[in-house]
Amino acid sequence: MKHCLWAPIVMALLLSFLRTPSTWAADPSDAPATVVNAQTQAGAPSDQSSAGPGLPDPRELVRDVFDQAMVDLLNGISAALKRVIAGVMGSSLNVITQTPPQASYNNGMVRSLWGTVRTIANSALLLVALVGAFNLMVRDHIGAPYHDLMELLPRLALGFLLVNTSMSWGQLVIDANNLLCQAIGQAQLPGWQGADAGSQLLAQVIAALIYLITSLLLLIQSLMRLALIDVLLAVAPLALLCWVLPQTQSWARLWSTTFFGGVATQFVQVLALKLGGSLMTDLTPMAGDAALLAVFLGIALLALTLKIPSLMRGQLGDGLGFARYFAYRQIAASMEHRGRGGE
């Protein structure tokens, strides 16, 4: 009897749990949720279609990525160049605004080569005297304007003096140039602060890179000038010995012009750099693109500084001309006075 009483209750529970979804939808309490789900599913395509026009253009995306990659690459190159140039400018081997003594007349190799060439020149002095004597013997026969005896002897004495003191004269010229450059004041590369390697604008990064490349060319030119001065210091004894004879005086003038021109050119370049720094302040307007304009002005000033050696080439004349003439006249007058006193 008990089983018969529980059977209808169990069957009712089973039927309540096994109802179909359509039966659930018929339930009034479930109707709002069904409507909301249907509205959400119906509105999904419209939301997806409206998001389509908001996507970025692939071409613009590629262009932005390319520009950023170029900016990063050029910034890296600019930063490396700026570290190199700043390292040289801030060291004792700064060759742009001075001629370092330790890299010129105080350099061990330069002095060693100069000593070797001086020995050769002293040995060749006897040969020069013999050629001068031969010139005295044939001057009347061939009508050549060679020196007479009272002119040859002072030249030989002065030639011997110049051969053995040429390094001291070179040191004097270089030290005088350094003093003149220091008297101008501390000169920097115009627009150096404007060549910032951290810019995010492609045009400004390219301008800064051009500026740094121009600065690097100025550094290379200064190193070449220093190397030329070292070579001229080493061969100075032979070059000055060539001044004694008329046949070789052109070689002495070439050495003198090149040496004095190479040393004195730096003073004019430092003067241009100093004036350029002042022009940067006076000519750059306080505008939104002032930084870019300052970099371009710095490039122009550096290009002018690079051109100064070619503008001055051949315009300085024979640097030792007056010194040699004065010393020669003094020695010649002294010997002539002694000759008259002996009579």
Residue-wise pLDDT for 128-167, tens only, equals 889 888 877 876 666 556 667 777 888 888 889 999 999 9
Q: Is the pLDDT of residue 184 over 80?
A: yes
> By C-alpha distance, which of 166, 46, 146, 190 is closest to 105?
166
Q: With respect to residue 161, please indicate whether it lies within any of the assigned structural domains.
A: yes
Instruction: Report the b/e string of 144-172 with b at 16+ CB within 10 A.
Output: eebbeeeebbbbbbbbbebbeebbebbee
Q: Which residue has the tokens 């520009």?
A: 67
Q: Which residue has the higher pLDDT, 197 or 41?
A: 197
Phi, psi of 14 (to 5 degrees): -65, -40
pTM score = 0.69
Q: Is the pLDDT of residue 239 over 80?
A: yes
Q: With respect to residue 22, please indicate whether it lies within any of the assigned structural domains.
A: no
Q: With respect to residue 155, please indicate whether it lies within any of the assigned structural domains.
A: yes
Q: With respect to residue 5, please indicate whether it lies within any of the assigned structural domains.
A: no
pLDDT at 315: 60
- The whole-angstrom separation of Cα 206 and Cα 73 is 11
Q: With respect to residue 33, please indicate whether it lies within any of the assigned structural domains.
A: no
pLDDT at 188: 82
Residue-wise pLDDT for 71-111, tens only, equals 788 888 888 888 888 888 888 889 999 999 999 999 999 99
pLDDT at 190: 82
Q: Which residue has the higher pLDDT, 279 or 167?
A: 167
- The whole-angstrom separation of Cα 22 and Cα 128 is 128
Q: With respect to residue 281, please indicate whether it lies within any of the assigned structural domains.
A: yes
CA 35 to chain centre: 77
Q: Which two tokens stand for residue 106?
A: 């105080």
Mean pLDDT across 176-203:
79
Domain span at residue 76? 61-338
CA–CA–CA angle 81, 191, 67 (5° rounding) = 55
Q: With respect to residue 13, please indicate whether it lies within any of the assigned structural domains.
A: no
Confidence of residue 266 (pLDDT cuts 50, 70, 90): very high
Q: With respect to residue 50, please indicate whether it lies within any of the assigned structural domains.
A: no
Split into its structural domains, the chain has a count of 1
